[in-house]
Each structure stands twice: as structure tokens, then as C-alpha cells.
């Protein structure tokens, strides 16, 4: 049976939100996403195809394929979605915007589920396209903020570049392999090495745009203009991982064509850039966004260098604490009305929120009972044979724990004014509870570790099998986290500014990246302006003719030596050029 039935409750809820009065929006949306979660146990593994249409002997089908990887992604999406919607109850308190918000969120969740179960390129492309569209709408949700509009446009520019790549890849694959199923394309790969290479390059490009990797990373930090629940759901746990997921499920294609090596280099560069920026950034949500880019880079690095299991576990484990950190950033921004971590204060006024945030920070730093620890130490074990990579990874671990601990220290310092304290205690309960639930989830996700070792043989990819065992790598991870933590504390106490030439070189050379987008935008608009100018000329020219038509006295005179001659001349020129062209071509 097609695994599409999970989407049905989401679509029903979407219709319900669209049709019923505003006051029901919240409840229906939550009910829909909970019902989606309830569908999860009924998913059967296997590949199923439903013919969609055929043309010129080519059959297009909707294929769903459920394996362990798909289940992992489904669990992430379906379990986090209800919590995000619950959080939104408190966060989105403007009544008039709620209907649109919940419709867009449910549409996004449905697209994400479709992506998670897609088993061929056409299904995947459909989901990919809907993901781009809904994320555009959600980033620009506060459409009266000009920054939000600009961020949404930038995001869609980059993400649509990926869409061009992916559609081109699909066309190449369809023509070369006469099939769009993942399994048959992967099996027939050696027959058409050139087509496989072209497709791999285009798909890798698309994955890098979606997962905000170098050189496309900047849209993700700008996307923080969207509401916090959107950041927590789309830009840390689900949508940005679509690129990583694509790389994981098509890994044989990337490995056979040698693109995997390119991906591992690119992702390592991204990790370096993102870490450097996280160290310098002061915007409370953007720090978390940079750390997301960093983790996405680590996932791609791990997967493309052969440490698939570690990459997949990071892929899974990261969702819970990252969503949680976005939840608490959103809560801080709501309580204090500030965005800069040096101005935010008083997190400790709300004990539950503080403890939840602490869980998240400890997990991302890699302390022991939390899932972040297992992800980091698996990563360490996987690269323990390669000393260089091992050192690099642990160095990034130290830096991560440095800036994350600083983030926590800044935001939890004593409040500036008594009002802040009141605002914190008055935060809606749904926000605090959903944050706490995610904190517990980050703890519980650790218990999945044994299963991760056990499930491997069921996977189609045999090299995924590498069991987890507690080793010295775990101690190294904790040591790195502790060093970073201590350094963060000392730096804050002594007020040491981070000055380093090497670090500065890695910072987003804003002038390069930003200019790149500005120039490309200016280019498109410039052409548009030019076209408008030309068009005004042409139209004033014809308006002249038309006016002359009404002006009966001057009619014959104007037509006989006026602009109509020129008009016909244009046409004649076009025809002559066409004739000459055809002669040359023939």
C-alpha cells in the first residue's frame, strides 16, 4: 500500500482550517498533526508504485518507498510537528494571522511527509517543489516587515536554483535510464556513466542549496526573519535536512561518480565558515542557525566520507535539541523583545524553560546522557583511524561548546529590569511545555542508540552497519565539551574579545556573498528595467500611430511617411534575418 495515507489527516486538517471559523484553526491543526503521528505504526515497509500517467511510452508513477531511513525521517517529522504547533499556540497570538499560519504549516508538513516516503525522482521532485513553496511563504510570513520579504526572496532564489538543477537531473535521468525509480536508476548506474555523473552533479547542487551548504549557506541565517516555530520546524529539523536525506538515499550514485569526495570537502568548508560566524554572531536565533549549518555540514561530511551510521544518527538526534533551542530563543525574544544576546537577560526567571534550555545546550555540547553525546562520539569513533579528521572534529566540538555555553550564560544573566522577569513568568504555558517535551525527547533519543546498531542489516545499504560501543572517543567528546565550556566561562568573565586573523578570514566575507546576491538581483532587475524602457519606447511609438489613426486629417500623411514604415521595416528585417539564418544552418 502506498505510504501516502499519512498525508490524509494533514490534508483533511488543512481543509478544515481553511473552511471553518478562525477560532477552530489551532485545535484542528494540532488534531491533524497528532492524527498524522498516529498513522505512523501502520506504515508498512517496502516499495509501492501507483501509475500516474504515461506518455510516449514513458510511465510516470507515484512511488513510495519505506525503509529504515524513511522511518527515521518520518518519526522526526511526525513527532516534532505536534510540538511545534503546540508551541505556536502561545507564540502566534495575533488572531488574524492564525488561519494562514496553520494552513501553511500543515501544507509544509504534508510536503515533508511526501518527501520522506518518496521512492522515485518524480515524487521526490513534487515534494521538493512544495517544500520550496511553503518555506517561501513561511519565511515571508510577516510580510509587512521588509526584511522578512527580502529574506524570503533570497531563500527562494537559492532554493529555486536547486529546483532548476533537480528538474534538469530528472530530465537527464529519464532520457538516459528510461526510468525514474531510485532503485532501478541506482542499479543501472554503470551503464550510463556520463548521464550518472551529470545527474550526480546536479543533484548534489540541489542538495547543497536546500541544506544551506557553501556557497549557498546565507539564506538560512536570513530565514530567521520568519516566526520561531518556523525556524524550529523548517530551518533546523526538517526541510534543511531534505538535502542531506537526498545524499543519504542516493549515496551509491554520489560514491560511484566521485561526487562524494567533493561533497565532503565542501561540507568541511561549510563547517568552518559556520563555526567562525557563530563565534562572532550576537543575534540570538542566528547563532543557533549557524550551528545548524555547522551540523548539516557535519552530517554531509560524515555520510560522504563513509561514516554513514554516525551521520544518520546525528541527522536524527540533532532534531530534538535544535528545535528546542529555537523554541527557547523564540521565547526569549517574545519575553524581552530583544534579539541581541548581550541585551537578553533573565532566562532563569522561568525555571522550566531554563531547565529545558539547559538540556538542549548540554546536549549540543555533547554531555553524557543526552543524544548529542552519542552522535558526537559515534562521529569520533568513525574517524578515529584518521588522526587529522579526528582532531578537526574535536576542535569543532570545543568551539561549539564554547559559543553555545556563552550563548546560555549571556541569556541567563540576571535580568535588567523587573518587567523582564514578569514577562518570563507570564510566557504562555504551551510554549514552555513543548520546550520541556523536546528536552525530554533529547534525553530519550539516547535510548535509540542500541536500535541504531541493530537495524543496520535491514537496510539496503550494507555499509551502514557499524555498531556503537562506548570507547575512549566518548571521553574525548566530553573532554572537548568541558574545555569549550570552561573557555566560554573565562572569556565571558574576563571579557576577552575574539580577535584572530584566521577567524576573520573565515567570516562570511559579507562583501563577497552579499554582493553575489545583490549583483544577481540587480542583474535580473536591470534586464527588467531595460525591457521596461524599451517597451515604453515601443508603446509610445505605437500610441503615436494609433493617435494618428483617429486624427483623420493627418491619417494618410502620417501613415505614408510615419512610423508604420518603420514597423514594417522591423518585420521585414526579422524575416530577412530568419531567412539568412536558415540558409546558414542548412
Partner 1 sequence: MIIVPIFFAVLAAFVAGNIALLAFYRKRAQFALNNALIMFFVAALSYIYARGYFSVYFGFISLNPFSVLFMLIFSIGLLLANMLYYSFADDYCELAMLGSISLIGMYTVAGSTSMVTVFLGLELVSMPMVFSVLLAKRSLEAAAKLFIMASVSIALFSFAMALAYGGSGSLALSTNSYSSLLLFAVVLFIAALGFETSVFPFNVLIPDVYEGAPAYLTGTMGGINKTAGFIALVQILILVFITYRSAFIAVAVLAVLTMFYGNIAALMQKNMKRLLAYSSISQAGYILIGIATYTAGGISGALFQVFAHMFIFIGMLAIIAWLESSNRTDIKDLVGLGSENRFAAFALSLFMLSLIGLPFTTGFIGKLLIFLSAAGSGLLWLAVLGIINSIISVYYYARPMIAIYSHSSHHKKASMPVYAAMVVAICLVITLVFGIYPQPVINLVTGAAAHLFM
Give me 76's grid cell: 522526526
On the question of a cis peptide bond just before residue 130, with omega within 30 degrees of 0, the verdict is no
Q: Does 525 bind partner 1 (CB under 8 A)?
A: yes
Return the number of the residue (178 or 414) whose C-beta is nearest partner 1. 178
Give rounded-to-5 percent helix, strand, coil for the chain. Answer: 80, 5, 15
Binding mask of the shown chain, residues 470 to 509, with x at each position contacting partner 1 by CB under 8 A: ----------------------------------------
Round to whole Å and give the CA distance between 59 and 341: 55
> Cβ of residue 502: shortest distance to partner 1, in angstroms?
38
Query: Residue 552, class by beta-carbon neighbours within 10 Å (0-12 exposed, 13-18 middle, 19+ buried)?
Result: exposed
Q: Does 575 bind partner 1 (CB under 8 A)?
A: yes
User: Which residue pairs from 513-521 have beta carbons closer than 8 angstroms and sit at least 24 positions apart in sequence?
Assistant: 513/215, 513/218, 514/218, 516/215, 517/154, 517/157, 517/218, 520/157, 521/153, 521/157
Q: Does 385 bind partner 1 (CB under 8 A)?
A: no
> Cβ of residue 424: shortest distance to partner 1, in angstroms?
30
Stretch that binds partner 1, among 126-134, 270-278, 366-374, 412-420 (CB under 8 A): 126-134
Spatial contact of 446 and 370, defined as CB atoms under 8 Å apart: yes
Q: Which of 50, 191, 522, 527 binds partner 1 (CB under 8 A)?
A: 527
User: Which residue pairs from 570-577 have beta carbons closer than 8 angstroms and sit at least 24 positions apart in sequence?
Assistant: none
Looking at the DSSP assignment, which residues form a beta bridge with residue 50?
A: 62
Give me 68's grid cell: 529504515
Round to whole Å and give the CA distance between 180 and 177: 8
> In Å, what is the CA distance from 262 to each residue of 275, 276, 308?
20, 22, 16
Q: Which of 531, 556, 566, 569 binds partner 1 (CB under 8 A)?
A: 531
Q: Which of 539, 554, 556, 569 binds partner 1 (CB under 8 A)?
A: 539
Q: Does 585 bind partner 1 (CB under 8 A)?
A: yes
Return the number of the residue (451 or 516) whose C-beta is nearest partner 1. 516
Total residues in contact with partner 1, by rule CB under 8 A: 62
Q: Where are the alpha helices (DSSP H) in 92-145?
A: 95-117, 121-139
Q: Does 8 bind partner 1 (CB under 8 A)?
A: no
Q: Does 187 bind partner 1 (CB under 8 A)?
A: no
Q: What is the largest CA-CA distance in the chain?
A: 99
Q: Does 586 bind partner 1 (CB under 8 A)?
A: yes
Q: Rule CB under 8 A: which of 196-215 touch partner 1?
A: none
Spatial contact of 229 and 198, defined as CB atoms under 8 Å apart: no
Q: Does 581 bind partner 1 (CB under 8 A)?
A: yes
Q: Could you tell me which of 574, 576, 403 has the C-alpha nearest to residue 503?
A: 403
CA atoms within 13 A on the CB side of 518: 6
Return the number of the residue (153 or 280) whose C-beta is nearest partner 1. 153
Q: Which helix (H) or strand (E) holds 536?
A: helix 510-550
Return the number of the residue (96 or 462) whose C-beta is nearest partner 1. 96
Stretch that binds partner 1, among 67-75, 350-358, 377-385, 532-540 (CB under 8 A): 532-540
Q: Does 50 bind partner 1 (CB under 8 A)?
A: no
Return the number of the residue (440 or 579) whose C-beta is nearest partner 1. 579
> In Å, what is the CA distance from 490 to each residue of 348, 405, 497?
21, 11, 11
Spatial contact of 379 and 312, defined as CB atoms under 8 Å apart: no
Q: Rule CB under 8 A: which of 64-103 touch partner 1?
A: 96, 100
Round to whole Å and give the CA distance between 504 and 519: 24
Q: Which of 193, 337, 450, 528 binds partner 1 (CB under 8 A)?
A: 528
Q: Which of 542, 556, 566, 569 binds partner 1 (CB under 8 A)?
A: 542
Return the number of the residue (391 or 578) whose C-beta is nearest partner 1. 578
Q: Does 582 bind partner 1 (CB under 8 A)?
A: yes
Q: Which of 93, 340, 532, 551 binds partner 1 (CB under 8 A)?
A: 532
Return the number of the residue (161 or 352) whose C-beta is nearest partner 1. 161
Return the number of the residue (429 or 557) whose C-beta is nearest partner 1. 557
Do you know the residue count of the chain?
586
> In Å, what is the CA distance from 290 to each residue of 103, 235, 268, 401?
28, 11, 14, 13
Q: Which helix (H) or strand (E) holds 235?
A: none
Q: Rule CB under 8 A: which of 225-264 touch partner 1?
A: none
Q: At what angle do helices 259-280 and 284-304 cross, to 10 degrees?
A: 160
Q: Does 140 bind partner 1 (CB under 8 A)?
A: yes
Stretch that binds partner 1, among 133-141, 218-226, 400-408, 477-485 (CB under 8 A): 133-141
> Cβ of residue 190: shortest distance to partner 1, in angstroms?
22
Return the number of the residue (450 or 526) whose C-beta is nearest partner 1. 526
Spatial contact of 488 and 402, defined as CB atoms under 8 Å apart: yes
Q: Does 160 bind partner 1 (CB under 8 A)?
A: yes
| Three-state SS at 452 | helix
Give the list of residues 6+ apart from residue 238 with CB closer than 8 angstroms, or none: 76, 77, 80, 112, 319
Q: Which of 40, 47, 71, 129 binds partner 1 (CB under 8 A)?
A: 129
> Cβ of residue 164: shortest distance to partner 1, in angstroms?
5
Return the number of the residue (167 or 492) whose C-beta is nearest partner 1. 167
Spatial contact of 239 and 323, defined as CB atoms under 8 Å apart: no
Q: Does 175 bind partner 1 (CB under 8 A)?
A: yes
Stretch that binds partner 1, among 317-325, 455-463, 490-498, 521-529 (CB under 8 A): 521-529
Q: Rule CB under 8 A: which of 543-572 touch partner 1?
A: 543, 545-547, 549-550, 564, 567-568, 570-571
Q: Which of 1, 20, 50, 164 binds partner 1 (CB under 8 A)?
A: 164
CA atoms within 13 A on the CB side of 220: 34
Residues of this chain that interact with partner 1 (CB under 8 A) are 52-56, 58, 60, 96, 100, 125-126, 129-130, 133, 136, 140, 143-144, 149, 153, 156, 160-161, 163-164, 167-168, 171-172, 174-175, 524-525, 527-529, 531-532, 535, 538-539, 542-543, 545-547, 549-550, 564, 567-568, 570-571, 574-575, 578-579, 581-583, 585-586
Amino acid at each position: 500500500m502506498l505510504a501516502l495515507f499519512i498525508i490524509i489527516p494533514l490534508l483533511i486538517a488543512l481543509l478544515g482550517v481553511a473552511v471553518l471559523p478562525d477560532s477552530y484553526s489551532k485545535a484542528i491543526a494540532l488534531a491533524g498533526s497528532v492524527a498524522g503521528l498516529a498513522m505512523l505504526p501502520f506504515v508498512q515497509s517496502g516499495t509501492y508504485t501507483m501509475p500516474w500517467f504515461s506518455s510516449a511510452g514513458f510511465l510516470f508513477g507515484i512511488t513510495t518507498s519505506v525503509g529504515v531511513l524513511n522511518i527515521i525521517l518520518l518519526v522526526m517529522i511526525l513527532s516534532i510537528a505536534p510540538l511545534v504547533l503546540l508551541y505556536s499556540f502561545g507564540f502566534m497570538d495575533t488572531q488574524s494571522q492564525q488561519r494562514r499560519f496553520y494552513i501553511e504549516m500543515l501544507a509544509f508538513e504534508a510536503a515533508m511527509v511526501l518527501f520522506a516516503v518518496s521512492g522515485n525522482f518524480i515524487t521526490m521532485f513534487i515534494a521538493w517543489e512544495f517544500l520550496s513553496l511553503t518555506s517561501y511563504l513561511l519565511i515571508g510570513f510577516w510580510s509587512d516587515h521588509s526584511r522578512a520579504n527580502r529574506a524570503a526572496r533570497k531563500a527562494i532564489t537559492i532554493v529555486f536554483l536547486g529546483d532548476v538543477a533537480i528538474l534538469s537531473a530528472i530530465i537527464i535521468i529519464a532520457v538516459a535510464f528510461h526510468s525514474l525509480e531510485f532503485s532501478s536508476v541506482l542499479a543501472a548506474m554503470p551503464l550510463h556513466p556520463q548521464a550518472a555523473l551529470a545527474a550526480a552533479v546536479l543533484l548534489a547542487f540541489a542538495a547543497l542549496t536546500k541544506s544551506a551548504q557553501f556557497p549557498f549557506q546565507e539564506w538560512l541565517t536570513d530565514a530567521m526573519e520568519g516566526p520561531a516555530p518556523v525556524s524550529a520546524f523548517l530551518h533546523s529539523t526538517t526541510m534543511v535536512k531534505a538535502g542531506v536525506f537526498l545524499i543519504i538515499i542516493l549515496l551509491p550514485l554520489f560514491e560511484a561518480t566521485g561526487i562524494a569526495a567533493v561533497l565532503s570537502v565542501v561540507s568541511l568548508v561549510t563547517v568552518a565558515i559556520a563555526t567562525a560566524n557563530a563565534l562572532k554572531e550576537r543575534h540570538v536565533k542566528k547563532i543557533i542557525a549557524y550551528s545548524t549549518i555547522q551540523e548539516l555540514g557535519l552530517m554531509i561530511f560524515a555520510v560522504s566520507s563513509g561514516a554513514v551510521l554516525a551521520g544518520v544518527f546525528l541527522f536524527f538526534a540533532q532534531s530534538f535539541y535544535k528545535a528546542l533551542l529555537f523554541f527557547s530563543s523564540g521565547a526569549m525574544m517574545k519575553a524581552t523583545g530583544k534579539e541581541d544576546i548581550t541585551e537578553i537577560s533573565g532566562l532563569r526567571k522561568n525555571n522550566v524553560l531554563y531547565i529545558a534550555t539547559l538540556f538542549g545546550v548540554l546536549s549540543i555540547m555533547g554531555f553524557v546522557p543526552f543524544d548529542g553525546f552519542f552522535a558526537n562520539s559515534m562521529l569520533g569513533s568513525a574517524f578515529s583511524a584518521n588522526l587529522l579528521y579526528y582532531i578537526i572534529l574535536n576542535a569543532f566540538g570545543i568551539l561549539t561548546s564554547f559559543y553555545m555555553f556563552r550563548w546560555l550564560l549571556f541569556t541567563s544573566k540576571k535580568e535588567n529590569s523587573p518587567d523582564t522577569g514578569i514577562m518570563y513568568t507570564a510566557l504562555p504555558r504551551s510554549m514552555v511545555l513543548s520546550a520541556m517535551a523536546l528536552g525530554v525527547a533529547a534525553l530519550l533519543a539516547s535510548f535509540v542508540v542500541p536500535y541504531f546498531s541493530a537495524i543496520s542489516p535491514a537496510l539496503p545499504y550494507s555499509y551502514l552497519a557499524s555498531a556503537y560501543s562506548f570507547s575512549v572517543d566518548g571521553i574525548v567528546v566530553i573532554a572537548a565539551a568541558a574545555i569549550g565550556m570552561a573557555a566560554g566561562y573565562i572569556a565571558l568573565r574576563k571579557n576577552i574579545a575574539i580577535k584572530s586573523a584566521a577567524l576573520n578570514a573565515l567570516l562570511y566575507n559579507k562583501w563577497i556573498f552579499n554582493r553575489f546576491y545583490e549583483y544577481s538581483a540587480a542583474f535580473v532587475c536591470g534586464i527588467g528595467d531595460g525591457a521596461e524602457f524599451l517597451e515604453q519606447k515601443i508603446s509610445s511609438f505605437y500610441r503615436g500611430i494609433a493617435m494618428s489613426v483617429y486624427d483623420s486629417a493627418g491619417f494618410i500623411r502620417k501613415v505614408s511617411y510615419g512610423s508604420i514604415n518603420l514597423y514594417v521595416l522591423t518585420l521585414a528585417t526579422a524575416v530577412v534575418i530568419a531567412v539568412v539564418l536558415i540558409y546558414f544552418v542548412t
